Amino acid sequence: MRAIRAVTLDDRQVAIPTQRVVIAAGGLESTRLLLAADRQSPGRFGGAGGPLGRYYMAHVTGEIADIVFADGKLDRAFDFWVDAKGSYVRRRFTPSQPTQLRERILNIALWPVVPHISDARHGSAILSSVYLALAYGPVGRRLVAEAIRKRHIPPAPREIGAHLANIVTDATTAMTFAYDFIRRRYFSTQRLPGFFVHSRSRRYGLFYQSEQLPRPDSRVRLMKHTDHTGVPKLEIDLRFCDSDVDSVLRTHKLFAEWLKRNGFGRLEWRSSEKELHSYAMSQACHGTHQIGTARMADSAKRGVVDRDLRTFGSPNLYVASTAVLPTSGQANPTLTAVALAVRLAQHLGLENTRQTMRTTPT
């Protein structure tokens, strides 16, 4: 690749000479561009049977149990707070590395969350206020990312009257919360990332975010339809397997034993033990962290890029994206992607320096 073709705003095609190209277009878009290039030059990135577009991972998420704390001090420990570095943080439960290895479970984090805001039976003026704000699209989309908003809001707003009744019963608390949250999130140097409302019963949903195993049949493909630039759109086939859910269930049972043994509280399942696996699998739909479809490996048979993010199919083409990660972990991959991008920038800088030194007369 010694030049890239680009389309101008007035639909003219131009060729831009280049020595190196870095694709940094996101987890799926970076892969889409590589798939389109592979279609034009079949086999460049492994072809239809290669790893490109395969091993699509995100996380296994959901709530299959409620956590009931034995002491009010315990649930207050899960408020947002500012650490020594001046950043908002929040505690989570994670199994130790020895426990993961001994029990053969995947990376996972668990933390208490407020009841579903759309269910007015929670009786909370604060949660009903949040629900109504997010349910109104023009406002909700300004408050949170659309993917997050849709996760909490049903397709059609419901129980509006019940939510309004909740607010009326304790309007002062709702207004005080709204003022404090807006001030700390939108008018503060350090933005509050979220909220946690205490429950008088000390009962909370137990949300989990677990690692998803890589599997080649979880993938994306190019469609026949194209977008306005002429690049084919993506067909997404994100799949979860029994092993993903088995690890989640095993972790919850270990966690329930740990809570009971230490007198911290208990777990209460939201489904019968017989249906627990299918209940957890029904919630496995998280795809907003796109990982693995242009994975890093030691050969073209196993991956798309090498350890320096250089593609095996084009020696001067690089990919800086979460798509290169060969495993998903349990956490948001953004910081890892940033670290890889910084590392790539340093690598390219050193290459430029070496090339200049080789071409400069002595």
Give me the mean pLDDT over the 224-243 stretch: 93
- pLDDT band (50, 70, 90) for residue 158: confident
Residue range 182-206: mean pLDDT, rounded: 88
> Does 17 score more than 90 pLDDT?
no
Alpha helices (H) along the chain? 29-40, 72-76, 97-103, 125-135, 137-143, 146-152, 160-169, 171-186, 242-262, 276-282, 334-359
Global pTM reads 0.86
Q: What is the pLDDT of residues 127-156, one digit of tens each?
A: 999 999 898 888 888 888 888 888 888 877
Q: Bigger pLDDT: 226 or 8?
A: 226
pLDDT of amino acid 144: 84
The full set of domain ranges for the chain reads 3-56+290-359, 65-103+114-208
Sign of CA dihedral 175, 117, 285, 59: positive
Look at residue 157 in the predicted model and tell me its pLDDT.
Answer: 64
Note the pLDDT tens digit of each residue in 88-111: 999 999 999 999 999 999 999 999
pLDDT of residue 91: 94
Mean pLDDT of 339-345: 97
| Per-residue tokens: 91 | 């505690």
At 270-312, the pLDDT tens digits run 999 999 999 999 999 888 899 999 999 999 999 999 999 999 9
**Is residue 258 classed as helix, strand or coil in its secondary structure?**
helix
Q: Domain 3-56+290-359 - what CATH class?
A: alpha beta
pLDDT at 362: 60
pLDDT of residue 175: 92
Average pLDDT on 13-37 reads 91
User: What would you measure as the largest C-alpha separation in the chain, in angstroms?
Assistant: 83
Residue whose token pair is 């979220």: 194
